[in-house]
Structure 1
Amino acid sequence: MHPTPAQPYDGTHDREIESLAEFDEVVSTRGTLAHFRVQAVDLTDRTDVLLAVDTAGAVFLGCPMDPAAATKARTGGALVFPPIPGLSFDPYRAFVYTPDELYASLDEGYASTPDALTYRWFQQTKADGDIFASMLRAIHDDAVSDALDELLAGSPVVGVMGGHAMARGTDAYAGAARLGRELARSGLTVATGGGPGAMEAANLGAYAAPFPDAMLPEALGLLAEAPTFTPSVTDWASAAFEVRTRWPGGGTSVGIPTWFYGHEPPNPFAAHLAKYFSNATREDGLLARCTAGVVFLPGAAGTVQEIFDSVTPNYYESRGEPTPMVLVNRAHWTERLPAWPLLRKLAGGRSMEDRIALVDRIEEAPEALKRLGG
């Protein structure tokens, strides 16, 4: 049941308007915008409505509107945060990104895309120490977190973590893609760090899930022609969009990248990209949302960090029941980067002890995850 318009805003989602269709429905059925939050909705064609409707206690976040409508809303008791001109991103956005959105204008080269332009803005404003820019980044990241929560509500999410250096055309990349496909086919929502390498491979696998098995080897062959994002992000991303064009309508998954590592472009196989400025916010949010467990493929410093970022809430049970953790490749995690022995030491005698596993082959990961309760 919706609260009556006279009630103050109580933080529930029935007070948020995130599309023009929702705006029209609220005005039609409720006859008021009092205490509603209208987020990044273009209202330039709704001037007559805004001049007539009650806006007491409403908040308009980055909504383009006629100046007369904005004045009426303010005098009627609303807070109006206007759009910020000249930005390559919307700090008040209501939804996570799509690959098409971040890679718009890719045909002119990656440097022309909103993704690259936003990274350049980030670098410049960090160097300037501009407090206004810091505020915009914080608002943006909070809006992305809100959108991600809404997107994933009720979904069993499994994380696949691994290094960006895993090249297309390798056996490891193909194995990570098959892992993502199997996890998606089992009904789980695959979430990754949203970048290249192992992350892209897992998102590709989820994309391939609805297609016959023969699709994935063909796609892997096409991608192998641009094995890494260096020296050309344009060629690397274009190969991915070629796969998407040849096999449209693939399965959905989530990527959670960051402009903090701006040299790593987001991969186009994650249908939903929750891209952040703050890497700390991104890391914590990614792992916290992996309710069905996390699979850690071989990686370097970033993946090691993710392992122990995941360990901490499991160790202290700060998020309730520990989530399963599966490390893949015994030699990597016991010899090259011996995270597994330390993980076992930490887990000893605690409830998380029965929620961790080390497997040799990537093909063993889904069964291990299931066995641990994921």
Structure 2
Amino acid sequence: MTESTREERRQGPALVRGKFLPQSTYDARLLDQRGSTEWLHMDPWRVLRIQAEFVEGFGQLAELPPAVTVFGSARTPAGTPDYELGVQLGRSLVKAGFAVITGGGPGCMEAANKGAREAGGISVGLGIELPFEQRLNDYVDLGIEFRYFFVRKTMFVKYADAFVVLPGGFGTLDELFEAVTLVQTGKVTQFPIVLIGTEFWRPLINWINETLLANGMISPHDPKLLHVTDDPEEAVRHIVDGRRRAEQAVVEARVQAAAEQEAKS
């Protein structure tokens, strides 16, 4: 085995190979409740590492311009229609004044980073330690490697004005429904969520309407939180309109607060 083919893994800022490769990830060890109770004495130290990841993420991303987080499958081959949609989306977002944030991996994530890079914009990748190696793609200009999924997910939301979701698997669905839940529960407001690929997403949208809504498990307006399109330009227009509405809401709230304060005085 040559140096270039040795198995390796990213662990936050570290790169490990050979005998230094652990048998599990930091997330797995944090969540594992089996075996020895030694973990009880280790969790306070884990808190410090988790804190350090938050500090690093906040420090690196705090000065980003308005940004949009793009999710999608890591398994999408280059040159396919979904990959090209990702490239077009990255370009369109940059032209509209947004930085592009992805998970930093291959497939649809690479496509969006590529489009952003080719358009001369800011291309960000937030990677994660996995049991198998998945390095940051070559189109990422600012990359951060995280150990813990929940820290990474916080960064996806905190520094984005919207989410765009390309076709993907379990990880993509996890990120999609977490975003929808945050909007539904008011944890984030005026936060557009766009699904690109009407044919791919149609069965899910039908299930949401015909099963969740029909059984009263969501409110009638909840399906409207998801905007579905095949056109990257339409996706960007929807996001821009959402940003304008958010800015207008802030102005109106300030005017109302000032009026109430004046009335009290």
TM over 0.5: yes
Paired position in structure 1 for 2:157 = 287
Look up the SS of the partner of 2:195 in the other structure: strand
| 1:136 Cα deviation from its structure 2 partner | 6.3
User: Which of 45, 52, 58 does residue 149 from structure 1 map onto?
Assistant: 58
Q: CA offsets per residue over residues 184-209 of structure 1, 9 Å max, x none?
A: 23221111111110011111111111
Q: Secondary structure at the match of 2:194?
A: strand
Are 1:163 and 2:29 counterparts?
Answer: no
Asked if 1:173 corresponds to 2:87, the answer is no
Q: Between the two structures, name the one with larger relative contact order (CA 8 Å, sep ≥ 6).
A: 2
Write the distance in 1 (CA, Å) between the matches of 2:107 and 2:67: 20
Aligned to 2:220: 348
Q: Distance in 1 between matches of 2:140 and 2:95?
A: 15
How many angstroms apart in 1 are the aligned matches of 2:113 and 2:44? 31
Kept after mapping to 1: 8 A contact 2:8/2:21: no
1:82-134 superposed Cα distances (whole Å, 9 cap, x missing partner): xxxxxxxxxxxxxxxxxxxxxxxxx9416376735179247388499885887
- Name the counterpart of 2:252: none
- Which runs of 5 or more residues in structure 2 are unaligned? 245-265
- 1:123 equivalent to 2:24? Answer yes
Q: Which runs of structure 2 are paired with 1:225-244 in the superposition (5 Å)?
A: none
Map residues 7-22 of structure 1 onto 2, 5 A cutoff.
none
Does 2:192 correspond to 1:192? no
User: Any residues of structure 2 matched to 1:188-267 within 5 Å, and which?
Assistant: 188-210=98-120, 251-260=121-130, 262-267=132-137
In 1, Cα distance between equivalents of 2:43 and 2:76: 33
Name the residue aligned to 2:261. Answer: none
Letter in 2 for 1:329: G
Residue type of the alignment partner of 1:209:
A
The letter for the 2-side match of 1:123 is S
Q: Secondary structure at the match of 1:191?
A: strand
State the shift of 1:282 in Å.
1.9
Matches of 1:190 and 1:156, distance apart in 2: 9
- Bigger fraction of residues in strand: 2
2:89 partner letter: L
Aligned pair 1:308/2:155, yes or no? no
1:329·1:362 contact (CA, 8 Å) conserved in 2? no
The answer to whether the Cα contact below 8 Å between 1:195 and 1:257 also exists between their aligned partners in 2 is: yes
SS of match in other structure, 1:256: strand
**Displacement of 1:363:** 4.2
TM-score by length of 1: 0.51
Contact 1:259 1:276 in 2 (8 A): yes
Q: In 2, distance between residues paired with 1:358 and 1:288? A: 23
> Identity across aligned pairs (percent)?
25
Among 128, 138, 145, the alignment partner of 1:268 is 138
SS in 1 for 2:92: helix
Distance 1:267 1:347, change over 3 A: farther
Q: Which residue identity is paired with 1:203?
A: N
Contact 2:25 2:129 in 1 (8 A): no
Structure 1's consecutive aligned runs of 4 or more residues displaced over 6 angstroms after TM superposition are 127-130, 132-136
CA distance in 1, matches of 2:22, 2:177: 31
The alignment partner of 1:190 has SS state of strand
Higher deviation after alignment, 325-334 or 121-130: 121-130
Report the Cα offset of residue 359 of structure 1.
Answer: 0.6
> Runs of 5+ in structure 1 lacking a partner?
1-106, 211-250
The structure 2 residue matched to 1:324, chosen from 171, 187, 192, is: 192
Letter in 1 for 2:125: G
Residue 357 of structure 1 pairs with residue 227 of structure 2: yes
Deviation at 1:340, TM superposition (A): 6.4
**Distance in 2 of aligned mates of 1:203 and 1:137:** 32
After TM superposition, give the deviation of residue 149 of structure 1 in Å.
1.7
Alignment of 1:50-89 (within 5 A): none
What TM-score, normalized by structure 2, do the two folds share?
Answer: 0.70
In the aligned structure 2, how far is the partner of 1:288 from the partner of 1:122? Answer: 32
Q: In structure 1, how many angstroms separate the alpha carbons of the residues matched to 2:149 and 2:119?
A: 29
Q: Name the CA distance, whole Å, in 1 between partners of 2:25 and 2:198.
A: 42
* CA deviation vs aligned residue, 1:325-368 (integer Å, no higher than 9, x gap): 00111111122xx1565289446346x94x53111234432123
CA RMSD after TM alignment: 3.3
Counting matched residue pairs gives 222
1:274 Cα offset (Å):
2.0
